Amino acid sequence: MKVYLYNTMSRAVEEFKPISDEYVGMYCCGPTVYNYAHIGNLRTYIFEDTLKRVLRHAGYKVKHVMNITDVGHLTGDGDDGEDKMEKSARESGKTVWDIAKFYTDAFFKDYDSLNLIRPDVVCPATKHIGQMIKLIQRLEAGGHTYIAGGNVYFSIDTFPDYGKLAKLNLDELKSGARIDIDSNKRNPKDFVLWFTNSKFGEQAMMWDSPWGRGYPGWHIECSAMSMHYLGESFDIHCGGIDAIPVHHTNEIAQSEAATGKKWVNYWMHGEFLLSDKGKMSKSSGEFLTLSVLTNRGYNPLDYRYFCLGATYRTQLQFSYPGMDAAKTARAGLVERVASLGDQIADASAISEKTRSYMDQFDGFVCNDLGTPGALSVLWTMLKDESISNAEKKFAVNYMDQVLGLGLDAVKASGSGESDIPEEVMKLVSLRAEAKKNKDWTSADMYRKQIDDMGYLLKDTPTGPSLQKKV
């Protein structure tokens, strides 16, 4: 199965060709853990999960690496503002380490409840300072850095391709540049690799380095960790569209300046989720989390359905009527799937008709993740009375590998288990996942929630069993 993806670098849809037969290397910029993820951030992770699922569906093994930014991300992407973690710690009276732990856990709770497949490698920046220092030393040896005011800067004038991803016009940028707050910079677009004598003397997270005690800039972490886990050249790098002009531009400059090689083959970016006031962002105040939605009675998978209803490269306006429509549609899907019974046709017995729906589905998802078209194929297939329920069930499972709407776990009506609400079943699987990750606190919390919903959960040698409390 061929997969076609839009590459931000070429501004074109290209056939995907991996570097190696072994696996597809995919790096996704992860959260800055100073606050809860908002549902705009989560839209980006849903897009990345869909990409990973499509690649797996097409037969590739994917090595998915995601960082956790727990140091160095300032409130302004261009080295201005305050450290986001420090600010959050100060405002809440906690330590930066507590803040990082708390919001990383909260992030993965959202991640699991959206049925996102966890990355193969999750790498916190604070655990990879050594790799960052080595990369900076390599850049230093190549003459790409300078030290000013105690900080180590990357000099963009030493990298002629600077700005190629964003198609920045450097001459225009220079003449139009605002007076930079950081007067140490030779070029306003230069950026910090390592802070020592920075404006944040009281920074809690600091490490020794050849340039003095300090901490890394934000961009260097993604270059250092992605290369550490995926090699000096890898297949796909993803993120939100806002990362293009500064963060990803700087990542490319420092990675390719260090290695002299092309770093990433496919750049993919998810468009924004919009609130009434424009881009949803933590600073605009218009900031919705997943728990705001669940408190209003939506299932996290309703939000996943809402996002899949638009292609990842278009802006998506958030609205409650839109969420209501997604909720109704998903409930309809679940009901239809439940009514199919529990017989699944064998792969060898699939008719041409069903096969053609599956092919149409693949045609959509393999063409730059066309999820709206894919959803409509699923609906048409379910409504087609000329194919058997057992075949429909087979096709639903096939399609849900990509959609991730939990349809493969829907129990047949009348099977006994269907009387158990879906929310309870979801909590059971979240608890199983938490146990697998030895996250006992979350596992206990889920058990308590199951209990509160009127169900008794018992662990048996064949797995958990559920009983309605009388």
Residues that bind ligand AMP (CB under 6 A): 29, 31-32, 40-41, 43-44, 239-240, 242-243, 270, 272-273, 279-281
- Residue 138 corresponds to which tokens in the numbers above? 């390599």
Residues 194-223 that bind Zn ion (CB under 5 A): 222
The smaller minimum CB distance to Zn ion, of residues 74 and 333, is found at 74
Q: Choose the contact partner of 43 out of ligand AMP, Zn ion, none; CB within 5 to 8 A by kind.
A: ligand AMP
Q: Choose the contact partner of 222 out of ligand AMP, Zn ion, none; CB within 5 to 8 A by kind.
A: Zn ion
The distance of closest approach from Cβ of residue 41 to Zn ion in the complex, given in angstroms and rounded to an integer, is: 13
Number of residues located near Zn ion, criterion CB under 5 A? 2
Does 316 participate in binding Zn ion (rule CB under 5 A)? no
Q: Tokens 């806002």 belong to which residue? A: 242
Q: Rounded to whole angstroms, how far apart are CA atoms 219 and 201?
A: 21
Q: Choose the contact partner of 280 out of ligand AMP, Zn ion, none; CB within 5 to 8 A by kind.
A: ligand AMP
Q: Choose the contact partner of 406 out of Zn ion, ligand AMP, none; CB within 5 to 8 A by kind.
A: none
Which of 153, 127, 106, 143 has the alpha carbon at shortest distance from 224?
127
The one-letter code for the residue type at 237 is H
CA angle 120, 122, 124 (to 5 degrees): 165
Residues 17-36 that bind Zn ion (CB under 5 A): 29
Given a contact cutoff of 8 angstroms between Cβ atoms, the answer to whether 80 and 182 are in contact is: yes
For the chain, the first-to-last Cα distance in angstroms comes to 51
Counting every residue written for the chain, the total comes to 470
The smaller minimum CB distance to Zn ion, of residues 222 and 375, is found at 222
The smaller minimum CB distance to ligand AMP, of residues 149 and 322, is found at 322
The distance of closest approach from Cβ of residue 72 to ligand AMP in the complex, given in angstroms and rounded to an integer, is: 12
The distance of closest approach from Cβ of residue 249 to ligand AMP in the complex, given in angstroms and rounded to an integer, is: 13
The distance of closest approach from Cβ of residue 186 to ligand AMP in the complex, given in angstroms and rounded to an integer, is: 27
Q: Choose the contact partner of 85 out of Zn ion, ligand AMP, none; CB within 5 to 8 A by kind.
A: none
Q: Tokens 């934000």 belong to which residue? A: 218
CA angle 408, 412, 417 (to 5 degrees): 100
Q: Choose the contact partner of 272 out of Zn ion, ligand AMP, none; CB within 5 to 8 A by kind.
A: ligand AMP
Given a contact cutoff of 8 angstroms between Cβ atoms, the answer to whether 104 and 33 are in contact is: yes
Residues 145-164 that bind Zn ion (CB under 5 A): none
Given a contact cutoff of 8 angstroms between Cβ atoms, the answer to whether 108 and 36 are in contact is: no
Beta strands, E only, 127-259: 145-148, 151-154, 191-195, 215-216, 234-240
Helices (H), 114-248: 129-141, 170-176, 218-230
Q: Choose the contact partner of 242 out of ligand AMP, Zn ion, none; CB within 5 to 8 A by kind.
A: ligand AMP
Contact set with Zn ion (CB under 5 A):
29, 222
